[in-house]
Amino acid sequence: MGRAVGFLVSLLLLVVGLPSLSYGVPAFARQMGASCNACHTPHGFPTLNAFGRSFKAGGYTMVGAEQLISEGNFLSIPAVLNLAVVGKLRYISNSKGNPKTFWNLFDEYAVFVGGRVGPNAGFIAEGGTEAVPVSWRFVFPFDVGGGNKVGVFVGSTDALGASYVAGELLNTGAVPNIRFAEKDVSAILNLVGNHPATGLGAYFYSDKFYVSVAQFVPDYTGKGNDVEIKNFATYARAMVTTLVSGWDVGAGVQIYSGNAKATINYGAPVPEISTVSTNSGNVSVLVPVNSATVNAKAQITAVDLQAMGSVSGKPVAVTASFAQTGKNNQVGATTDHNGFSLEVEAGIIPDRFDVIAGVLSYRDNTAKKSYTDTLLGLKYHLFRNVQFQLNYRNYGKAKNNQLLLMLFTAF
């Protein structure tokens, strides 16, 4: 571990003097003909600024310098297919567990394709090492004047949750893939967490207010699966955004409710663990199954806040969130938990070097035990689209101290 830390420190010292000559040009930056920081905060991708929120709420349809192929009202698409590759190289060291140290090579590797399909249609798909996308969204936005938009959407994801399908806009961990730190301590991220979701819904967006409502089931349509939906759960999101003394401030609430029921018909038989009685007793075996039944109650409430601005010319971001999962909740990471988190990121050297600190305090109400997690982190931006992170997180429940070193890149 010491050699890994020494290597990272040496690398940071080597690159700290390099000028900011290169800018990220992932899929949407290509469509817009703009730098990554047109949509992302000074703290780096994937966190969104006000323009980034507007672009996403516009269904990825906004274009800039890129040439369009058009045919009156019948066709309007970018002349070049917009692609991006995102990958993470991670080294992790734990004080407890087995193995204690390991590498994640190309962790969360993904190829993104998306952008404008037409004036009122946009698309994004994320694929991994397999041929089918692991997350995708179709959005149909309509401008209703004054910069306001209404729209409908449909989507599916293997892990990013109902908030992904509904088009989450804040950086509070309300959707797992938009967070400030790799080992973020957001209460929403940690207590709601990753879960599959397939659904559809509608939204309204303005520069002051956003509301999105989705009907969903906690499962995924990829790999040739057919989802026979019998009953939806509901995800509702409302938030307000405003400028306060030059600070971009947003606050909102998320509510998951209802009982989702569906039958998943697999494209090919899937192995499932089953218990079989034998003369020697019960044994667990893998048997192929062609379908599965989903019957899940959703009982989650979350409140979040973010504020992004500057102090003495240095960029600063503050996020806070509260999450509570019900006694009968079957969606996401926990049941009968509640917790609060606070996190701060400050750009010590603007556009280059950030420090991060955060705390998560939560309670397992079933076990009647409370825990506290803490996070300290460093972030170095080599270029707009290449960053190094060092995260040191203490997990109170597991009594584990974890060190993470990561190279995060998108191009």
Within a domain: 373: yes
Residue 7 lies in a domain: no
Residue 19 falls inside a structural domain: no
CATH code of the domain covering residue 144? 2.40.160
pLDDT of res. 1? 42
CB 111 within 8 A of CB 85: yes
Question: 398 exposed, middle or buried (CB, 10 Å; 0-12, 13-18, 19+)?
Answer: middle
Distances in Å between the alpha carbon of 68 and those of 72, 74, 307, 335, 388?
11, 13, 36, 49, 35
Report how far residue 347's alpha carbon sits from residue 349's, in angstroms, rounded to the nearest whole number.
5
> Which secondary-structure segment (H or E) carries 273?
strand 247-278
What are the angstrom distances between the C-alpha of 239 and each of 33, 36, 170, 355?
Answer: 29, 25, 9, 27
- Ranges in the chain, pLDDT < 50: 1-25
Q: Please report whether residue 8 resides in a domain.
A: no
Which tokens sit at 283? 């044994």
Q: Which two tokens stand for residue 199?
A: 């659904």
Q: How many domains does the chain have?
A: 1
φ, ψ (nearest 5 deg) of residue 36: -60, -30
From the centroid of its chain, how far is CA 289?
31
Please give the DSSP secondary-structure letter assigned to residue 358. E
Cα–Cα distances in angstroms (integers) from residue 145 to residues 6, 54, 93, 140, in the given order: 55, 14, 52, 16
Phi/psi for 269 (5° steps) reads: -55, 140
Alpha-carbon gap, residue 270 to 286, rounded angstroms: 9
Residue 374, CA distances (Å) to 125, 229, 369, 377 in order: 34, 40, 17, 10
CA 28, CA 81: separation in Å to the nearest integer?
10
For residue 65, which phi and psi values (nearest 5 degrees)? -80, -15
Q: Is residue 243 part of a domain?
A: yes
CA 240 to chain centre: 20
For residues 207 and 276, is the Cβ–Cβ distance under 8 A? no
Residue 4 lies in a domain: no
Q: Give CA–CA dist 34/38, Å, rounded.
A: 6
Residues 337-363: tens digit of each pLDDT? 999 999 999 999 998 999 999 999 999
Name the maximum alpha-carbon separation found in the chain. 75
Per-residue tokens: 36: 């990554």
- pLDDT score recorded for residue 222: 65
Host domain of residue 36: 24-410
Tens of pLDDT, residue by residue over 13-65, are 333 333 322 223 367 777 777 777 788 888 887 889 888 898 888 998 888 76
> Would you give the DSSP letter of residue 219?
S
- Looking up tokens 């204690």 gives 100
| Tokens describing residue 206 | 């303005």
Residues 115 and 105: their CA atoms lie apart, in Å, by: 28
Q: How far apart are CA 137 and CA 132, in angstroms?
A: 14
